[in-house]
A and B are shown apart, each in its own frame.
Chain A
Amino acid sequence: MSTSRDAEHLLRDLAPQVLGALVRRYGHFDMCEDAVQEALLAASLQWPDGGTPERPKAWLITVASRRLTDALRSDESRRRREDSAAQADRDALVAVATDADDTDLQDDTLTLLFLCCHPVLTPSSQLALTLRAVGGLTTAEIARAFLVPETTMAQRISRAKERIRAAGATFTPPDDTERDGRLRVVLHVLYLVFNEGYAATSGPEAARADLTAEAIRLARAVHRLLPNDGEVQGLLALMLLTDARRPARVDADGGLVPLDEQDRVRWDRVMIDEGLALVTGALSSAPLGPYQVQAAIAALHAEARRAGDTDWAQIAALYALLEHLTPNPVVTLNRAVAVAMVEGPEAGLAMLEPLDGDERVSTSHRLDAVRAHLYDLAGDHDAATRHYLAAARSTTSIPERRFLRSRADRCAQR
């Protein structure tokens, strides 16, 4: 079993390198991407029985190049039939196709990530294309993870590639003026991939949990390429410290367990240690960005062996910093919880008042849920019950609704 898992990891690791080599040589990102998928499929069928070739990357490049030239050829002959005047320089392309050397030292993963997370794409298209072109996942795997039909996902991916082509995007890294902003988008997409997997509590769990592993794998790859970027370190640390809690976040009945009630012995210490080391490195770099601050908050939770040991004063200070860096009502909600733990629930409730006028959260279940929690802490069980029920009505998550209703029941009985 582990060998097929290893083979799968090898293929996924090689996918962006092979695609990079192809696009670099032939252009045509969209067609190269299809060709690489076909080569990966061929490898997954042939390698388990025939053995992994000595130079797997060269093997994949050769096979993908052949598929690409076949596709270009049939594309070309179709075009010739349609328009005999059309001429292209594809003979030159075919000539180099047999030359599949393995000497490309340049890692194209980052350039590919920039392309897949191109600003002309919607977030869901960026996610899908990144997982396929950089992650080496098949369309079927991505479709399963997002719980949509394969044809829908195939359409999303081909449309994303079309938009990239229409935007005239090329396979070159963004220039210095754009680079920082584009890297933020890449990190955000990896963060979304992670969340998509982390939020899964049931259903085809393996496929979805795989997304967190995939996000961590890609974040590691970016970290390897940009070892001194504090935000990359921060994001990877945040993922590790969050994923470390996975074994404790859902109980035996599939119900969500809040942070303060989780059995911390079940947290993954190896991941936590790796995450903590990264946070220490990340915090020494300037300027500080939002992923570093969120990772630092996750680190404080991870360091507390019991919920009662949590350093809430520092967490509240970090949320204040995060609010300053990225003003956003969800951060304010979290900050209110931390402040309540330090100064008492009334202080937290007071912080929530301005959010009633903020339409980004005023109708969301999160505001009601936090308010309910703070009333609960303050001993106002009627108000807590009311807000827990309101939150349960407005969430679209089954496990969250279950959790909020059970909290409402508990309050009502006090």
Chain B
Amino acid sequence: MKYMLLIYQNPAAMQALPEAEKQAIMAEAGAVMDELVEAGEWVGGEALADPSLAKTVRVRDGVPAVTDGPFAEAKEQVVGVCIVDCETEDRVIDIATRWPDARFWGMEVRPLLSPDGVEM
């Protein structure tokens, strides 16, 4: 079963941390990622550039409006995503729990929709 992990962070708060602490957090996340790759559970993922670089696009009555910044105005923003393929949801929750951002901000775990189905 595949899941997407949405990594939430307050970029300003992260920026304010001492350099050593930032490095430690990144190393911690890196270790979890290595474990996922090693276990054959890692499907893919990317870190996102700063939310200040986001554009939000809305089309109303056929007219596109492009505004600067993320869709939702909030201190916490999605800063990265990963897709994992795990045996159980418990395993995914465990991964999210160990991701350092979960301690400071939060992780969202979302099952992916599958194109498969059986006749009911």
Q: Do A and B bind each other?
A: yes
Q: What residue in chain A is nearest B110 (Cβ atoms)?
A: A396
Collect the chain B residues with CB atoms within 8 Å of residue A201's CB.
115-117
The complex places the Cα of A205 from the Cα of B37 at a distance, in Å, of 27
Secondary structure call for the A interface: helix
Collect the chain A residues with CB atoms within 8 Å of residue B39's CB.
155-156, 159
> Is A413 part of the binding interface, using a Cβ–Cβ cutoff of 8 Å?
no
- Our pick among A156, A200, A249, A398 for the contact of B40 (Cβ within 8 Å) is A156
Collect the chain B residues with CB atoms within 8 Å of residue A198's CB.
118
Contact check, A403 vs B117: say whether CB atoms are below 8 A apart: yes
Query: Using an 8 Å CB-CB cutoff, how does the interface string of B104-120 with A read, 1 for contact, 0 for none?
Result: 00000001111111111
Contact check, B116 vs A200: say whether CB atoms are below 8 A apart: yes
The complex places the Cα of A112 from the Cα of B28 at a distance, in Å, of 39
Distance in angstroms from A316 CB to nearest chain B CB is 18
Indicate whether A397 sits within 8 Å of B40 (C-beta atoms), given known contacts A123-B87, A259-B119: no
Collect the chain B residues with CB atoms within 8 Å of residue A123's CB.
87
Contact check, B118 vs A400: say whether CB atoms are below 8 A apart: yes
The complex places the Cα of A309 from the Cα of B42 at a distance, in Å, of 48
Indicate whether A399 sits within 8 Å of B40 (C-beta atoms), given known contacts A123-B87, A152-B85: no
Collect the chain A residues with CB atoms within 8 Å of residue B1's CB.
396
> Is B38 part of the binding interface, using a Cβ–Cβ cutoff of 8 Å?
yes
What count of chain B residues pass the 8 Å CB interface test?
22
The complex places the Cα of A245 from the Cα of B38 at a distance, in Å, of 39
Contact check, A152 vs B119: say whether CB atoms are below 8 A apart: no
> Is B41 part of the binding interface, using a Cβ–Cβ cutoff of 8 Å?
yes
Collect the chain B residues with CB atoms within 8 Å of residue A257's CB.
119
> Is A203 part of the binding interface, using a Cβ–Cβ cutoff of 8 Å?
yes
The complex places the Cα of A155 from the Cα of B39 at a distance, in Å, of 7
Q: What residue in chain B is nearest A201 (Cβ atoms)?
A: B117
- A-B contacts counted at CB < 8 A amount to 79
The complex places the Cα of A396 from the Cα of B118 at a distance, in Å, of 12
Query: Using an 8 Å CB-CB cutoff, how does the interface string of B18-48 with A read, 1 for contact, 0 for none?
Result: 0000000000000000000111111110000
Contact check, A155 vs B116: say whether CB atoms are below 8 A apart: no
The complex places the Cα of A8 from the Cα of B85 at a distance, in Å, of 29
The complex places the Cα of A396 from the Cα of B42 at a distance, in Å, of 20
> Is A122 part of the binding interface, using a Cβ–Cβ cutoff of 8 Å?
yes
Collect the chain B residues with CB atoms within 8 Å of residue A181's CB.
none
Collect the chain B residues with CB atoms within 8 Å of residue A396's CB.
1, 111-114
Indicate whether A398 sits within 8 Å of B119 (C-beta atoms), given known contacts A152-B40, A152-B85, A153-B40: no
The complex places the Cα of A373 from the Cα of B119 at a distance, in Å, of 13
> Is A354 part of the binding interface, using a Cβ–Cβ cutoff of 8 Å?
no
The complex places the Cα of A398 from the Cα of B111 at a distance, in Å, of 12
Q: What residue in chain B is nearest A261 (Cβ atoms)?
A: B119
> Is A10 part of the binding interface, using a Cβ–Cβ cutoff of 8 Å?
no
> Is A199 part of the binding interface, using a Cβ–Cβ cutoff of 8 Å?
yes
Collect the chain B residues with CB atoms within 8 Å of residue A200's CB.
115-116
Query: Using an 8 Å CB-CB cutoff, how does the interface string of A104-127 with B read, 1 for contact, 0 for none?
Result: 000000000000000000111100
Q: What residue in chain A is nearest B113 (Cβ atoms)?
A: A398
Contact check, A399 vs B43: say whether CB atoms are below 8 A apart: no
The complex places the Cα of A146 from the Cα of B41 at a distance, in Å, of 12
The complex places the Cα of A152 from the Cα of B117 at a distance, in Å, of 24
The complex places the Cα of A369 from the Cα of B2 at a distance, in Å, of 23
Contact check, A149 vs B87: say whether CB atoms are below 8 A apart: no
- Our pick among B43, B112, B115, B116 for the contact of A152 (Cβ within 8 Å) is B43
The complex places the Cα of A249 from the Cα of B2 at a distance, in Å, of 25
Query: Using an 8 Å CB-CB cutoff, how does the interface string of B63-103 with A read, 1 for contact, 0 for none?
Result: 00000000000000000000001010000000000000000
> Is A258 part of the binding interface, using a Cβ–Cβ cutoff of 8 Å?
yes
Contact check, A398 vs B87: say whether CB atoms are below 8 A apart: no
> Is A401 part of the binding interface, using a Cβ–Cβ cutoff of 8 Å?
yes
Contact check, B41 vs A152: say whether CB atoms are below 8 A apart: yes
Indicate whether A401 sits within 8 Å of B42 (C-beta atoms), given known contacts A155-B37, A257-B119: no
Distance in angstroms from B36 CB to nearest chain A CB is 9
Q: Which of A108-166 contact B (CB under 8 A)?
A: 122-125, 146-149, 152-157, 159
Q: List 26 A-B contacts (CB under 8 A).
A: A147-B2, A148-B43, A152-B37, A152-B43, A195-B118, A199-B116, A199-B118, A201-B116, A203-B115, A256-B117, A256-B120, A258-B119, A373-B120, A396-B1, A396-B111, A396-B112, A397-B113, A397-B115, A397-B116, A398-B117, A399-B116, A399-B117, A401-B113, A403-B117, A403-B120, A404-B120
Q: Which 5 A-B pairs have the closest CB atoms?
A: A156-B40, A399-B117, A199-B116, A155-B40, A397-B117
